[in-house]
Amino acid sequence: MTGFGSFFTQLARDLWSQKLRTFLTTFGIIWGTVAVGLLLAFGKGLHVQQTRSFAGLGDRIVIAWPSRTSLPFEGLGKGRRIRLDESDIEYLKQQIQTMRGISSEYSRDLQVHHGTVTRSVDVSGVSPVFGDMRNLIPATGGRFINPVDMEERRRAAFVGNRLALDLFGEEDPVGREIMIHGSPFLIVGILVAKEQDSSYSGRDHSKIFIPSSTFKALTGARYMNLFIYRAQRPELNEALTAEITTALAARKRFDPADTQAVQVWDTTEMFAFFDAFMLGFNIFLGLMGILTLVVGGIGVSNIMNVVVEERTREIGIKMALGARSWAILSQFMLETFVLTGVGGALGLGISYAICAAFPSLGLGEYVGDPELSPRLALLTAALLGAVGFLAGYFPARDAARLDPVVAMKV
């Protein structure tokens, strides 16, 4: 205990006698720690924000549009239009058991009235599972379309949040009526505001969703505009698409290799590309931060080399009086770790403070809110430990290897 007490006493005296040098050394570590922490935190925040925006379109769904054939098949010429109705969706449900969900979508621009306000709105007829697949989350007090709405062809409407604001202002629209295509509809839910950076027929915040059975009765539509589906796991979407294409090709008589007959957009590929991109981007940011921290470590190493040179005579006297090499090594290593530890703690504290204050700037929509998770903090601490060890070990080793007789003559 006495030995460690003397170490700390000597450390405090040495650091206090070189206040400017101590400050500059510690500042280098602080700067490197802040660089590592913030670069990794902002990289993670950007990843989360962009993933949330992608998920605004749907949670790794596949969107399919019936189109026209581009290849002749069994005596039928190309250019033949493929039309799908609800019986085809039921056929797919019976033939393919690996689907997590599938829904048709009928869509048309219809006149919507409330009071003196009239809007031409993209109205979609969908099934209940559509809301889950497309991340159409109802605000508190409301709901999405349910199976009873479908069975009874109820005039129930789920309204986008921005459209609801245009029609009702600050009033709560749930339970109120609007006129769609000349018929009264009860608003059962309002969309929770969400980030959405891609779409296929406009942003959800300005659309209305009603039961597909009601839509067909209201407009006389028979054939769907498109359908969406997803597999039990995202990585199975590609295989599921092949199964659906084969099943529809047999039912509608077109070549299974004809990619134009039913065109698909697998959003899983978008997520996979972005995940790979952000992994590389975060590695790049991490390397930049590590290099900055290494520069700070080099500064610490240089300082410790200077300290060893200035205290060579002192080291020689201590060794002549019986100090062992491990004691000299420990003394300088302790100084290094204290400087590194204090600088690292202050750097992490500054990083946490910046991450906590950043959301108040309102820039999260563009770059995401930085998140310095415990795992990132532990990673930064591990890097600090490695830098501190390397920065202090070699000067300390040189000090411990000094010849006492030669050292005292310096």
State the pLDDT confidence band at 30, using cuts at 50, 70 and 90. confident
Mean pLDDT of 129-154: 93
Are residues 43 and 168 located together in one domain of the fold? no
* pLDDT, position 1: 43
Are residues 126 and 165 located together in one domain of the fold? yes
* pLDDT, position 22: 72
Instruction: Judge whether residue 297 has pLDDT over 90.
Output: no
11 located within any domain = yes
63 located within any domain = no
State the pLDDT confidence band at 180, using cuts at 50, 70 and 90. very high
Mean pLDDT of 224-240: 92
Instruction: Judge whether residue 235 has pLDDT over 90.
Output: no
Mean pLDDT of 159-165: 94
State the pLDDT confidence band at 197, using cuts at 50, 70 and 90. confident
Instruction: Judge whether residue 18 has pLDDT over 90.
Output: no
Q: How confident is the model over 199-222, as pLDDT tens digits?
A: 788 889 999 999 999 999 999 999
Q: How far apart are CA 382 and CA 55, in angstroms?
A: 34
* pLDDT, position 321: 66
Are residues 315 and 397 located together in one domain of the fold? yes
Are residues 307 and 251 located together in one domain of the fold? no
Are residues 200 and 239 located together in one domain of the fold? no
The token pair at 46 is 């950007």
381 located within any domain = yes
Instruction: Judge whether residue 81 has pLDDT over 90.
Output: yes
Single-letter residue type at 110: L
* pLDDT, position 402: 65
Mean pLDDT of 357-384: 74
Q: How far apart are CA 29 and CA 339, in angstroms?
A: 8
Smallest Cα–Cα separation from 60: which of 241, 275, 235, 278?
235
* pLDDT, position 179: 95
Domain that holds residue 187: 99-231
Are residues 251 and 303 located together in one domain of the fold? no
Are residues 225 and 104 located together in one domain of the fold? yes
Are residues 392 and 297 located together in one domain of the fold? yes
Q: How confident is the model over 309-365, as pLDDT tens digits?
A: 766 677 667 766 666 777 777 777 777 777 778 888 888 888 888 888 887 877 666
Instruction: Judge whether residue 284 has pLDDT over 50.
Output: yes
For 286-350, the DSSP string reads HHHHHHHHHHHHHHHHHHHHHHHHHTHHHHHHHHHTT--HHHHHHHHHHHHHHHHHHHHHHHHHH
8 Å CB contact between 145 and 156? yes
Are residues 15 and 163 located together in one domain of the fold? no
Strand-pair partners of 399: none
Share of the chain above pLDDT 70, in %: 84
* pLDDT, position 407: 54
Q: Among 228-237, 317-326, 367-376, 377-386, whose mean pLDDT is lowest?
A: 317-326
Are residues 118 and 168 located together in one domain of the fold? yes
Number of Cβ within 10 Å of residue 307's Cβ equals: 21
Are residues 224 and 240 located together in one domain of the fold? no
Mean pLDDT of 295-311: 71
Helix (H, G, I), strand (E, B) or coil at 371: coil
Share of the chain above pLDDT 90, in %: 39
Mean pLDDT of 161-176: 92
Overall number of domains in the chain: 3
Dihedral, 208, 211, 215, 221 alpha carbons, nearest 10:
120
* pLDDT, position 381: 73
* pLDDT, position 54: 64
Please, what is the average pLDDT of the chain? Answer: 83
Number of Cβ within 10 Å of residue 126's Cβ equals: 27
42 backbone dihedrals φ, ψ, rounded to 5°:
-70, -35
Q: How far apart are CA 401 and CA 391, in angstroms?
A: 17
62 located within any domain = no
Mean pLDDT of 110-131: 93
The contacts of residue 200 (CB under 8 Å, 6+ apart) are 57, 63, 226, 265
* pLDDT, position 2: 46
